[in-house]
Structure 1
């Protein structure tokens, strides 16, 4: 048994969300009990004790939308790259990068991303892969990296027509094969979705092919209306908004996740709600790509759409997304109250609800029977921390680098900032080597 205590415990339970000098007891892969440190130490005197030293104990973070393949874009300079808009960014950087990714690159990018997730307290990650330099087997390499580091993950491959019909079919086949493969697992650590790039790079025929091989209990992970060009493409080619098109093609539903949704109208929002489809917003990426601010607060408040938070490959530290999500809507709406309650709800409640549409063990909360995904942060509050203000302490006082201990599925993955059983020097050395090879292929 493992006992983590002597800290400010944020449980995320409805009735007992915060326990001063709290502790969480873990047996196997799930939480046994939460309570005060004194009570649980008395009850479980033989448990291995992790001392939070007056820091913060809380459920591990969940990242609902990431791009592991972006790991090797850090520091990349592409000859002649000078984007004027989002389409230039895609064509000039991301499509060039993913077209040169092979399975070796994919594997090492996965090792870096999952290691970085552990170090930033992210215990569950939904990823959207693209590696058109080598499609077949690419999800296996990410799965291998996830197993190596022990991070919960839900994977998919980005189907797109941009490289032609043959590679679009290969992408569908890779998703379909991996969906079947991961369904054989019994450990509740990996799942799969049918990945799609965006409506403007997908024909109706390709979407239909993908839908026809996707089981009913599996949804789609697709970018929607990240830029006006996507909207204009749908209206011009199909004479209908993107969400209407996806609805007509049978893509929407409770297991489907739509990324961004920056330029959608109220009718589309109602379709999303009526089909119980999920939306994930990525504020840092949106600002970095200069694509605009999504109407996610309207989706959240007016339409009660299940909205979550992701990083979109911009970072593996989702506390950054919390901070930027808090201010982007205030700035955009000139309203100091905007996003104050909605953004933490997305990160700390909705992300868990969304993830549990795939993972069976209850995530995002510390209570009996929930997943033993726990993080400890070195954070010493300069002001009182209570059940009414702990989100403010996270927002203004913490980031991923404060994470000291990470426990996933009951296993200690990082202890005192040392990742257990991992030679970080080896991981980063191989990563730099593979990144250089990738850069050479891109600029060669």
Structure 2
């Protein structure tokens, strides 16, 4: 007997045949899918205590976000478009002005956002990038993972050492006061090892740890100096080696022209490597990515994709695997993967001045089955197939922007948004039902997020970053000079 039957839906399987089953059904037992087929076939063979009627709904695998940042949920929009102010806010908040309570509250908020948008699995870097990761002590990563666990989504939390030189200054709060201390590479590395031991593949495999090391680009080779550059190279290799030994995803943030070739020289690429952004790659670097089996996380809505272009079609044609990321939730984007699928199509079609590039099914692959492959999870998630984990999303088609009810898969990708998600099942557990989280109190999460953000602002004195800039209205560019 099954535990859950989903019947009468339009089942978008994302299986190898990319079957779309009209009036389809999915049977779930414990945390696994045990049958996929027509409603007539499945109901004839299975009964269940819980039956979900998916009439007028898409039934699809949970979406996967290949790249995002923990902490950003409390920083988004700060600085009002001033990138330097926004980076300053991240730097202070993530190193000297955050507590475990901050990280737990932000993790719950971000996980709830993902859940309500049908994102059942997401990568989250524990901080604002490769130079401000909160890896001075395990307690911050513990708090983040605990927050995600409460909401019930699946997560890959990326932790690692910051860029040399070390030590880096961090602060813990004792009796409400910040106590600063220097933190070495060795301490950060030990933090990562402890988080791996505590959290990797925990809670039924919903929580996982990845390792990240700073991306080395041309400017770093020039600016670090010979000794620090040599140390950065040593640390990168050491971190990548630990990822391979522990069977973890190894990721790097902010790749662009030249940095992939440099990573190749270090020997840190391969099937467990996931490189984000990867803009303006050379033809040789595209070939390196494909030949090494390295994966790319494309973030079409990110500022990096304004400053450069990730050559996604060229990578795909070369045989590389590319997944989609939100780079959320800052400074100007959400975790809604429907938004990023649509942005991805327009981004590359505009570049080629040709609307035939990246058909909609291709971008759906990038945040389901291809993203699962990038995370080394393709045997468990990314499609609705017998034996896979029961990560399932029901999306309500009975909405004005999705009607009339024809060509449903086209409408799913071109017109749907995260707020159309009705029900979400993660690991066989109903985590969202009728657009309401089942394991947590949403109001309590929102109130906690507000409180912890205000405390962070009090610690940093960054309240002024919440002011609307004078160029917000009646200006063509935010950098226009203000007349006195």
Trace 1:248-327 onto structure 2 (pairs within 5 A): 248-286=265-303, 290-301=306-317, 303-313=318-328, 314-327=333-346
> Given that residues 79 and 86 in structure 2 are in contact (C-alpha distance below 8 angstroms), is that contact kept between their aligned partners in structure 1?
no
Structure showing greater radius of gyration is 2
Distance of aligned partners of 1:108 and 1:417 in 2 relative to their CA distance in 1, 3 Å threshold: same
Report the equivalent of 2:445: 427
How far is 1:265 from its partner? 0.8
> With structure 1 as the length reference, what TM-score do the two structures score?
0.86
Structure 1, gaps ≥5 residues long: 232-240
Quick one: distance in 1 between partners of 2:254 and 2:70?
Answer: 19
Count of paired positions: 418
Structure 2, gaps ≥5 residues long: 168-182, 221-228, 463-484
> Given that residues 128 and 221 in structure 1 are in contact (C-alpha distance below 8 angstroms), is that contact kept between their aligned partners in structure 2?
no
| Alignment match of 1:179 (pick from 193, 196, 211) | 196
What secondary structure sits across from 1:225 in the alignment?
Answer: coil
Quick one: distance in 1 between partners of 2:188 and 2:51?
Answer: 46
Quick one: distance in 2 between partners of 1:286 and 1:184?
Answer: 32
Trace 1:214-233 onto structure 2 (pairs within 5 A): 214-216=243-245, 217-226=247-256, 231=257
Report the equivalent of 2:373: 353
What are the superposed Cα offsets for residues 176-221 of structure 1, whole Å, 9 maximum, x if unpaired? 2222333474722222221124324672233234245444323421
Distance of aligned partners of 1:334 and 1:360 in 2 relative to their CA distance in 1, 3 Å threshold: closer
How far is 1:134 from its partner? 6.6
Quick one: distance in 2 between partners of 1:168 and 1:418?
Answer: 42
Report the equivalent of 2:101: 104
Quick one: distance in 2 between partners of 1:159 and 1:192?
Answer: 14
How far is 1:276 from its partner? 0.8
How far is 1:71 from its partner? 0.6
Over the residues paired in the alignment, what is the CA RMSD in angstroms?
2.5
> Given that residues 199 and 223 in structure 1 are in contact (C-alpha distance below 8 angstroms), is that contact kept between their aligned partners in structure 2?
no
How far is 1:25 from its partner? 0.8
Residues 1:205 and 2:225 are matched in the alignment = no
What secondary structure sits across from 1:326 in the alignment?
Answer: helix
Trace 1:33-432 onto structure 2 (pairs within 5 A): 33-77=35-79, 82-83=82-83, 88=84, 91-99=87-95, 100-130=97-127, 135-137=136-138, 138-161=140-163, 164-165=166-167, 166-183=183-200, 185=202, 187-200=204-217, 203-216=232-245, 217-226=247-256, 231=257, 241-286=258-303, 290-301=306-317, 303-313=318-328, 314-340=333-359, 342-355=362-375, 357=376, 359=377, 361-380=379-398, 381-383=402-404, 385=406, 389-432=407-450
How far is 1:361 from its partner? 4.8
